[in-house]
């Protein structure tokens, strides 16, 4: 270690990316200190995936991430793949299973992933300071950085910012990483909540609020993005995987269009029903295809309810079109309180995609969610944390 420094590497934030970076750097013989302001590390890992941590996705690739610089994530994702993380999980004998769409979860508990990362850090000689709040970061006179903290001052030639985004402030999220980036001349792209339930207000809220708890499969589209998965009505609006996914692409004011019978031809279905059950009302017919209460609500506010035989071909086409692209206007999102991720952040054009070192401040690194790279729902965000943490851990 060069003189005047307490460590080779300081990592701010003991979350997914910070712990991976620390373990990787430590394994290369670097002396590493992780500085975590919460009372324990890995809180988001613990609460993730309903307590079972959806730790990666077997299909993770650049197309599953949102960023204003879409190619930035390519190199790190290729250098540390889902297969690499699975090998680590298997080497720790953690049992896991694939749910749908390539999502891997622990069989038992997300605590196992935190324990695994801590074991890797311990084996690599990494020191971890929890409950350690940071007062300020200054430049070290011999190059590098000094972190002034509640536990004293630490100095190192390399400082890794792994402090995450703004989602779930009660879990330790802070805007610290953004402020630090700004302090060292970085451009910040506007942040907003992603993978978040959408809220309704006014008429749609009145029409749908009492459906809270009703779920159905949909294909939801906003602009050019579309996702097929479950949607859930809530007391405040809509949620469920399909909605969380589209929320990252949705812009206020933009309508959502929902195919309520995904993978089926609504017109074929209605025509067949009219032939088979001419006296049945539309709400009865739809009640067999959709959750009954939702079908009724559709026929109160969006579709005319009458016996099937009274629909002429044009009216049947109109009804089918509504079922294919039911318009829903969300008024907003539930915000960072419930969002899984933060979109936007440190502009990746000012960060090396090979090492994750700042192009503005030598020795400063950014990894994980603090960067303007945000994954889909389904294990992609942890894969980004592992891949970016690993890349920086190889470089520091």
Q: Which residues bind ligand FAD (CB under 6 A)?
A: 12-18, 35-38, 41, 43-44, 47-49, 53-54, 134, 162-164, 167-168, 172, 174, 176, 340-341, 368-369, 379-382, 385
Min. distance of Cβ 366 from ligand FAD in angstroms? 9
> Is the CA virtual torsion 37, 39, 44, 45 positive or negative?
positive
Select 363 or 389, whichever has its Cβ closest to ligand FAD.
389
Q: Find how far residue 118's CA is from the centre of its chain.
A: 23
Min. distance of Cβ 15 from ligand FAD in angstroms? 2
Select 282 or 377, whichever has its Cβ closest to ligand FAD.
377
Select 157 or 389, whichever has its Cβ closest to ligand FAD.
389
Select 287 or 378, whichever has its Cβ closest to ligand FAD.
378
**11 strand-pairing partners:** 34, 160
Min. distance of Cβ 13 from ligand FAD in angstroms? 3
Min. distance of Cβ 113 from ligand FAD in angstroms? 10
Q: Strands of 256-259's sheet, edge to edge?
A: 326-328, 256-259, 215-222, 225-233, 237-239, 198-199, 332-333
DSSP letters spanning 107-176? SS-THHHHHHHHHHHHHTT-EEE-S--EEEEEE-TTSSEEEEETTEEEEESEEEE----SS-GGGT--SH
Select 227 or 311, whichever has its Cβ closest to ligand FAD.
227
Residue with smallest beta-carbon separation from ligand FAD: 15
Min. distance of Cβ 237 from ligand FAD in angstroms? 18
Min. distance of Cβ 39 from ligand FAD in angstroms? 9
Min. distance of Cβ 183 from ligand FAD in angstroms? 13
Select 59 or 307, whichever has its Cβ closest to ligand FAD.
59
- What distance in Å separates the CA atoms of residue 82 and residue 85, rounded to the nearest whole number? 5
Contact 51/42 with Cβ under 8 angstroms? no
Contact 146/134 with Cβ under 8 angstroms? no
Min. distance of Cβ 170 from ligand FAD in angstroms? 10
| Angle subtended at Cα 73 by Cα 63 and Cα 161, rounded to the nearest 5 degrees | 135
Select 44 or 219, whichever has its Cβ closest to ligand FAD.
44
Tokens of 220: 């939801």
- What distance in Å separates the CA atoms of residue 197 and residue 220, rounded to the nearest whole number? 13
Select 38 or 266, whichever has its Cβ closest to ligand FAD.
38
Select 260 or 377, whichever has its Cβ closest to ligand FAD.
377
Min. distance of Cβ 271 from ligand FAD in angstroms? 42
DSSP 334: -
Pick from 87, 94, 83, 114: nearest CA to 20: 114
Tokens of 6: 């307490």
Collapse the DSSP code of 333 into the 3-class scheme (helix H, G, I; strand E, B; otherwise coil) and give the result: strand
DSSP 360: S
């Amino acid at each position: 270690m060069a003189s005047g420094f307490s460590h080779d590497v300081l990592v701010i934030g003991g979350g997914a990316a910070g712990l991976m970076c620390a373990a990787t750097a430590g394994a290369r013989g670097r002396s590493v200190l992780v500085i975590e302001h919460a009372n324990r590390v890995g809180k988001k890992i613990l609460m993730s995936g309903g307590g079972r941590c959806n730790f990666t996705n077997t299909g993770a690739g650049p197309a599953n991430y949102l960023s204003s610089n879409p190619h930035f994530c390519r190199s790190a994702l290729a250098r540390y793949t889902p297969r690499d993380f699975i090998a680590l999980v298997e080497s720790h004998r953690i049992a896991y299973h694939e749910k749908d769409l390539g999502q891997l979860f622990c069989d038992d508990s997300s605590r196992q992933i935190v324990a695994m990362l801590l074991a890797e850090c311990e084996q690599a000689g990494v020191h971890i300071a929890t409950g350690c709040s940071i007062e300020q970061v200054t430049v070290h006179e011999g190059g590098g950085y000094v972190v002034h903290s509640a536990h004293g001052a630490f100095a190192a030639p390399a400082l890794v910012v792994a402090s995450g985004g703004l989602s779930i402030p009660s879990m330790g999220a802070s805007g610290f990483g953004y402020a630090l980036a700004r302090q060292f001349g970085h451009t910040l792209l506007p942040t907003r909540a992603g993978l978040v339930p959408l809220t309704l207000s006014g008429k749609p809220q009145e029409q749908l609020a009492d459906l809270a708890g009703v779920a159905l499969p949909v294909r939801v589209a906003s602009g050019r993005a579309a996702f097929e998965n479950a949607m859930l009505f809530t007391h405040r609006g809509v949620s469920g995987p399909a909605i969380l996914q589209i929320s990252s692409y949705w812009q206020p004011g933009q309508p959502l269009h929902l195919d309520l019978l995904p993978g089926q031809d609504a017109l074929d279905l209605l025509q067949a029903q009219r032939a088979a059950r001419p006296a049945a009302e539309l709400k009865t017919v739809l009640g067999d295809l959709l959750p009954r209460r939702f079908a009724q609500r559709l026929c109160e506010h969006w579709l005319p309810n009458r016996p099937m035989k009274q629909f002429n071909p044009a009216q049947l086409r109109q009804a089918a079109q509504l079922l294919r692209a039911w318009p829903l206007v969300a008024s907003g999102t539930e915000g960072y309180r419930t969002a899984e991720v933060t979109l936007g952040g440190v502009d990746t054009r000012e960060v090396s995609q090979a090492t994750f070192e700042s192009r503005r401040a030598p020795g400063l690194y950014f990894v994980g969610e603090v960067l303007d790279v945000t994954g889909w729902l389904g294990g992609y965000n942890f894969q980004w944390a592992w891949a970016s943490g690993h890349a920086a851990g190889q470089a520091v």
